[in-house]
Structure 1
Amino acid sequence: MKTLTLLCWITLATTITSQIEATTINMIECSAYKVWFDYPKPHQNIRAGSDLTVRITARPSNHITSVTLYHNGQMVGTDSQFPFRWEHKDINHASLRNLRQGSHKLRIRILYSSGQSSYKDCKFYVVKNGGSDSSPQLENCGITNPLQNLDWLRRLRAGNQKIIIEQYTSGGQTLFKIRYCHKPYLRQWFDCEGRQIGSNRINLVRRAQKVKVLYDGCKLVIKPYATSLIAK
C-alpha cells in the first residue's frame, strides 16, 4: 500500500513539474523575440541632402522569413537575409538618397516563418544644413498645418472642443499649449509628437514665444453671467 501511495505521489509530482517546465518554455519562446531599428534611431536628426542606409536588428532572427521596408508610405524593398539592411547606393532605393527637409516615417513589415506578420515604425527628422544637431525637432513639426496634419492634435480637438490650442516656438522647436475653457488655471504643454513636456524640460516653456492661436473653442462657450444679462 505504501509503495502504491509513493508511486502515485511520484507520478503526480512528475506531471506537475512537466507542466511547469512546458509553461516556462512557452513563455520564453513568446518573449524572446525582439526587433528594432539599429539605424536611424527614433527621432534622430539627419542633415538635408544626406543619403540614408537603414539597418534592422532582430534577436533571434532565424524564424524571420523577410522584412519589407516602407519610407513615407512608399515601398523601398524586401530583404530576406540577416542582417536586414537597405543601402542608399542600391539603384532601387532612390527614396533613401538626397533626403528632403521635414519629418520622415519608416515602417517595416516583419514576416515570420509561421506566416504571421507584424509592423514596427520609426520617425526621424531631416534638418536644414547649418542647423543645430541638438535641435530636437523641426520648426512647425516639418508640416504646413499642425492642426490638420498631426493626428494626436486633431483627435484632441475632436474629443474636447472647449479648449484653446496655441502654437509656440522655443529654440527652434515647436510647442503646443493647451488651455481649458472651464479651467483657465490648467495649462498643458506638448511637443510635435504629442508628448507632454515634463519638469525636466521646463526651460523650453520659459523661453517659448507665441506664434499663433490654432483653435479657440472658448468663443463658443456662453458664460453664465452673460446669459443672465441677456435675460434682463
Structure 2
Amino acid sequence: MPSFTLEGDVALVTGAASGIGRAIAIGIAEQGGRVGLVDLVGADFSSVIAEVESAGGRALAVEADVTSPDDMAEAVARIERDLGDLSLAVNAAGIANASPAEDMPLAQWQKVYDIDVTGVFLSCQAEGRAMLAHGRGSIVNIASMSGTIVNRGLNQVHYNSAKAAVQHLSKSLAIEWATRGVRVNSVSPGYTATPMNLRPEMVDHMAVFASETPMQRVAEPHEIAGPTVFLLSGAASFVTGTDLLVDGGFCAW
C-alpha cells in the first residue's frame, strides 16, 4: 500500500486559525508534516499551535491577506525560510453570507469573489511557483458541495458560483501543472459544524441541514481533514484534477 504519511513535508494552510482550516492543519501535523498557519492579521493562532505541537508537529503562524499577492508571496517565502521547501498546501480561507440576488449589492458579491475565488487563485499562484521550482507538490483547495448543488432555503448565488469556480480553477491548474510534478485537487465539504455555522442564528438552519443529509447529521471539521490529508499524501499520487465530495451522501439524494 502507498503511504499516507506526510513525514518530512512542509505545508501551508490558509484559514488555519479556525474551522476546517484549523482541523486540516492539525491533521497534517498528526501525519508528520510541518505546518505554516496562514490567517488574517489579528487571528488567534494559540489553540491551533498548541494542538499541532501536542501532535508532535512544528507550526509557524503567518499573518497574511489571501487577496494580496504580495502577502501570499511573503507567506510562502517565510514558511520556506523557517520550515523548509514547500511541498503541500491547503487553501481553506473563505467567507459566506446570503442575500436575494435581486437585492445583492455589488460590494457584497465582490467581497465573496475576492476572498473565495481570487484569494484561492493568488494562494495557488504563490504556492505553485515554489512547488514548480522544486519539481513536486500537492495543493488542495477547499470548495463546497454548494458548487455542485444549490442549498434549499439559502440565497447564495455569489457563494455557490464562487465555489463552482474553485472546483474548476483546481481542475484547470491540475492540467496546467500535471507534467511538472504538482498535483491540484479540491475537496467539497457538505454542512460542517464550523464556528461560522454554530452561531446562534444558525441553530435552526443546522438542524434542518442535518435532517436533509442522508447520514442525519452534519460533519465535524476533522472529518474534512482526513480526505484532505489523503489527497495531499503519496497515497493519492495518481489523483489530480478531481473534486472530492465529503457530504454525508447529500449530493446522492
Q: Which has the higher strand share?
A: 1
TM over 0.5: no
After TM superposition, the score normalised by the length of structure 1 is 0.27
Greater relative contact order, per chain length (Cα 8 Å cut-off, separation 6+): 2
Pick the structure with greater CA Rg: 1
Q: Which has the higher helix share?
A: 2
